Amino acid sequence: MNFDVIIIGGGPSGSTAAATLSQKGRRAVVLEKERFPRYHIGESLIPFCYFPLERTGVLGRIQASGFPKKYAVQFVSSKGKLSQPFYFTQYRDHPSSQTWQVPRGEFDAILLDNARRLGATVYEETAAGDFIVDDGKVVGVRGTDKSGSPLEFRPR
């Protein structure tokens, strides 16, 4: 199969890139070395995450997820002193002023599934390896699947 772009890693950035490219009619392939959902440290989203979630069509799923809602943030100095709370609605009266504390494994799986739904091809348990170089130019990526079999991916 021909691809326009190879994306290495299916985390939030890779999944969002694949979703966005797929929405624009590009054929994206994602190489992810693990099987999702996979363990990953949790994440506290910021308000402006709302907009890429909305653009890629996954916002409704996040809103319905049951993830704990977050309306503010507070910082702690290295000496243990708390800052004043930073309430998001004080600075922007918009639905993006409410965000979430997400379990990364679940959040990442939602984003990767969304990329698939939009047309990206996803290879889980496929590790990216060396670049394929031809005449001094990178023309693809070598990888291996979970059984150790070699694979090659070459975008257009």
Query: Which domains, and CATH codes, for the chain?
Result: 1-42+103-156 (3.50.50.60), 43-102 (no CATH)
3-state secondary structure 127-140: EEEEEEEECCEEEE
Local confidence pLDDT in tens for the 156 residues of the chain? 689 999 999 999 999 999 999 999 999 999 999 999 998 887 899 999 999 999 999 999 999 999 999 999 999 999 999 999 999 999 889 999 999 999 999 999 999 999 999 999 999 999 999 999 999 999 999 999 999 999 999 998
**Helices and strands counted in the chain (H then E):** 4, 11
